[in-house]
Copies of this chain bind each other. A is one copy, B any other.
Amino acid sequence: MKQRAGDAGANAREAILAAARKAAQAHGYGGLNIRALADGVGIKGASIYYHFPSKADLGAAVARRYWEDSAADLDALWGETSDPLRCLHDYPDVFRKSLESENRLCLCSFMAAEYDDLPDVVKREVQAFADVHVAWLSKMLFASSVVSAGESGQRARSIYAAVAGAQLMARSRSDIALYDALIDGYRAAGLLPTLQRTLPEPGVDH
């Protein structure tokens, strides 16, 4: 019964991580309030420091868990269908879900804005998130041959930045329909591929 990891004692840590993630997606790293966070978990502010030595370490742990979960989600999407065009089509849904969850932003987009004020340990995790997404997009672009091999990296970065920008703009109007319209605009302009191979006339239902 001694020295067991992941037991009852770890629940508080996990609860803090989950609550901190939701708070940071709404208010950012700077807006993350330790006392309010502790309140939501049912402990006192000072107790947070038993689980995390500093706000910087908490922020880094939240951001790391965030990109780890995101990487797992993307891999699951790819594992389900093995259809890279389908994956590229569904990719914007990942960012849509944050908006659906009380108009929240991607944690790492918020932290990208706050970059100057971020502790170094947090900065590293924010960049890892973008790296994971760009690598996955690049793989999908290559597998679906929508761009030539040498261009998949550049296109992947452009798609990532554009989708993050769409989420940011939609948040500032609390308007998910705007997000959908922006993504459609990317498809119409050719930044994002379409599922069917670019038929000039869409058919009946339009």
Secondary structure at the A interface, as helix, strand, loop or mixed, is helix
Shortest Cβ distance from A181 into B: residue = B154
Give the number of times this chain occurs in the complex, counting copies: 2
Q: A164–B173 Cα gap in the complex (Å)?
A: 15
- CB-CB under 8 A from A188, the residues of chain B are 151, 154-155, 158
Contact of A182 among B28, B161, B184 (CB under 8 A): B161
- The answer to whether B154 and A114 have CB atoms under 8 Å apart is no
Q: Which residue in B31, B113, B123 is a CB contact (below 8 Å) of A105?
A: B113
Counting contact residues on chain A (CB < 8 A from B), the size range is 35 or more
Q: Could you tell me the distance between the alpha carbons of A114 and B115 in the complex, rounded to whole angstroms?
A: 14
Q: Mark A134-167, 1 if CB is under 8 A from B, else 0.
A: 0000000000000000010011011011111110
Which residues in A have some Cβ–Cβ distance to B below 8 Å? 26-28, 30-31, 103, 105, 108-117, 123, 126-127, 130, 151, 154-155, 157-158, 160-166, 168-169, 171-174, 178, 181-182, 184-186, 188-191
19 A-B interface contacts by CB (under 8 A): A28-B114, A30-B30, A108-B172, A109-B168, A110-B113, A112-B168, A112-B169, A113-B114, A113-B168, A130-B173, A157-B182, A158-B182, A158-B186, A158-B188, A160-B169, A161-B162, A162-B166, A162-B186, A190-B190
